[in-house]
Amino acid sequence: MPLEGESHSWYMRMLQWRERHIGERTFVVVLALVVGVVSGLAAVLLKWLIATISHFLTSHVPVTGGNILYLVLPVVGIGITALYVRYVVRDNISHGVTRVLYAFALKKSRIKAKNTYASLVASSVTIGFGGSVGAEGPIVFTGAAIGSNLGQIFRLSPHTMMMLVGCGAAAGIAGIFKAPIAGLLFTIEVLMLDLTAGAALAFTGYNVEFFFSQSEPFYATRIPYVIALGVFCGLASVYFIKVIAAVETAFGHMKSQRLRFLVGGAMLSLLIFVLPPLYGEGYGAINNLLSGNAAALFDGSLFYNYRHSVPMVLAMLGGLVLLKVFATSATNGGGGVGGTFAPSLYMGCMAGFFFAFLLNHTMLAGAALPLSTKNFALMGMAGVMAGVMHAPLMAIFLTAEMTGGYELFLPLLIVSAVSYGTCRIFSSYGIYSHRLAARGELLTHQKDRSVLTLLKMDSVIERDFIEVHPQMSLKEMVDVISRSHRNLFPVTDEEGMLLGVVQLDDIRNIMFRPDLYRRLFVYRFMAMPPARAVLGMGMDTVMKMFDDTGAWNLPVVDEQGHYVGFVSKSKIFNSYRQVLKHYSDE
């Protein structure tokens, strides 16, 4: 940010020079390139930190049995992260993608400067020590923060900053997964922005993130099984979303940070000790299944000697599908920092492999038609991500780009579409958006709803109404009317509680009768308002109240019922037009 004195003067001259010599569109393209490069470098750094920490801590862990380190490392990682967030960052940096959506909705795309590095540090410690979450949420938040702060430095409009934030988020996804198309689709489907963005891959090369070799062809006769897998993945996605929400709520009810740490740490450590594949992002386990090696899931496990038992493989896969979401929730709930991108991919891979493996070892598929567990593991990744994120296109391209599995594009499309449709039956919002949607703070592709979300009640409340009281006489009421330019008057008691309203039209026939001045009082002719808006209520709710009541003005009260002011349709419509013009400006 600019300093005082000469530095401030230089800063302002630089802004003026840019405005005179570089067009807005050209400048935005240049900034987008800078955001992409810096965000790509941040993704490279985050991946390197996670890999380095994890390798240092687990490289000597034996694979032939359980290991006590799995009971210790996750707790230590969460503890370090919680202390860092509480005493260094001093801000909420959990749920990175949700925080970006929140910045769009309520902060005019402004994200604090410290968020350009805070999530990167916190998530590398969390995941490196075994936290069962992904690095994608933190890198999205980091990239978005880079775009936002660069926009703030050059005093760009909120609309332009929104584009830069989207570019940073897309670059983060592209850099972490080596999937530029998926990064673009992420901004459209998950962040719900109508823009384009790019990403940089120069430092990590163009090799796929996960190794997948399609050694078994896909036949059209498998399509019914693909559709069934889509339904299974859709139900798994609903389970993922609902359990995350329930466990987050349970941790939120714990008032003590120490209690959350103890419960989350103990829960995560026990899960990883029993099921070591839950350690960290789980990319190693995904690669094992994509190569058809389910026995590798038992490395470092108490059940290592049963790695070739069909019932135990099914039990291991089923346990990972059901418990991954608890490990993820425990990591974040206990104080760790990480995202749900990787957990959804992980759960999908396990679910797809489990589905094919189960059918292959029962009479449902039959020996004449064995299903490729590798192919179905890959399809499961796309299926669960499509349902959990409510982003089928991103899921298709992300899975194909990460693995190179383009030959399975048709089944990826089918399973993603069916999973998304199944999940939508039970859940209207994806994992990132349901938190804001519940509070009416979510921007969507629907311009009307987005503009209403951007409108805040405080900006449309009118407070220049003269209050009257129940015991005031008609004469005193007429005196108030003579001083007011309004035709509506709130009736309040001595404590400021709203009791009713007086409309000028309702007393027009008696206000010119002096014989009634001393005989009639406000409590005799006041009326109850058709509805009351509560301070802080979402504007979409307020507009529904207007539609339901047919009123033109509604009183606003606080949560205790004290009078605050009025909202009117005319004021809302004027503000709506202004916000819509600004929001739609190119």
Predicted confidence (pLDDT) per residue in 491-522, tens digit: 999 999 999 999 998 888 888 888 888 889 99
Q: What is the pLDDT of residue 235?
A: 96
Instruction: Report the 10 Å Cβ neighbour count for 86.
Output: 12
Q: Which domain, by its residues, includes 309? A: 220-444
| pLDDT tens digits, one per residue of 193-235 | 544 333 334 444 445 556 566 656 777 788 899 999 999 999 9
Q: Are residues 411 and 462 in the same domain?
A: no
Q: Are residues 425 and 457 in the same domain?
A: no
Q: Are residues 135 and 242 in the same domain?
A: no
Q: Are residues 351 and 423 in the same domain?
A: yes
For the chain, how many structural domains are there in total? 3
Q: Are residues 328 and 410 in the same domain?
A: yes
**In b/e form, how buried is each residue of 2-20, taking b as 16+ CB within 10 angstroms?**
eeeeeeeeeeeeeeeeeee
Residue 215: inside a domain: no
Q: Are residues 264 and 299 in the same domain?
A: yes
Residue 207: inside a domain: no
Residue 436: inside a domain: yes
Q: Are residues 233 and 380 in the same domain?
A: yes
Q: How far apart are CA 151 and CA 155, in angstroms?
A: 6
Q: Are residues 455 and 580 in the same domain?
A: yes
Q: How far apart are CA 411 and CA 409, in angstroms?
A: 6
Q: Is the pLDDT of residue 583 over 70?
A: no
Residue 102: inside a domain: yes
Among 137, 170, 189, give the residue marking a domain's end. 189
Beta bridge pairs of residue 562: 497
Q: Are residues 473 and 521 in the same domain?
A: yes
Residue 214: inside a domain: no
Instruction: Report the 10 Å Cβ neighbour count for 123.
Output: 31
Among 402, 419, 444, give the residue marking a domain's end. 444
Supply the CATH number for residue 227's domain.
1.10.3080.10
Q: What is the pLDDT of residue 544?
A: 83
Residue 435 C-beta-side C-alpha neighbours within 13 Å: 19
Residue 211: inside a domain: no
Q: Are residues 261 and 337 in the same domain?
A: yes
* Predicted TM-score (pTM) of this structure: 0.70
| Average model confidence (pLDDT) across the chain | 82
- How confident is the model over 36-49, as a mean pLDDT? 90
Q: Are residues 384 and 506 in the same domain?
A: no
Residue 488: inside a domain: yes
Q: Are residues 158 and 288 in the same domain?
A: no
Among 141, 171, 189, give the residue marking a domain's end. 189
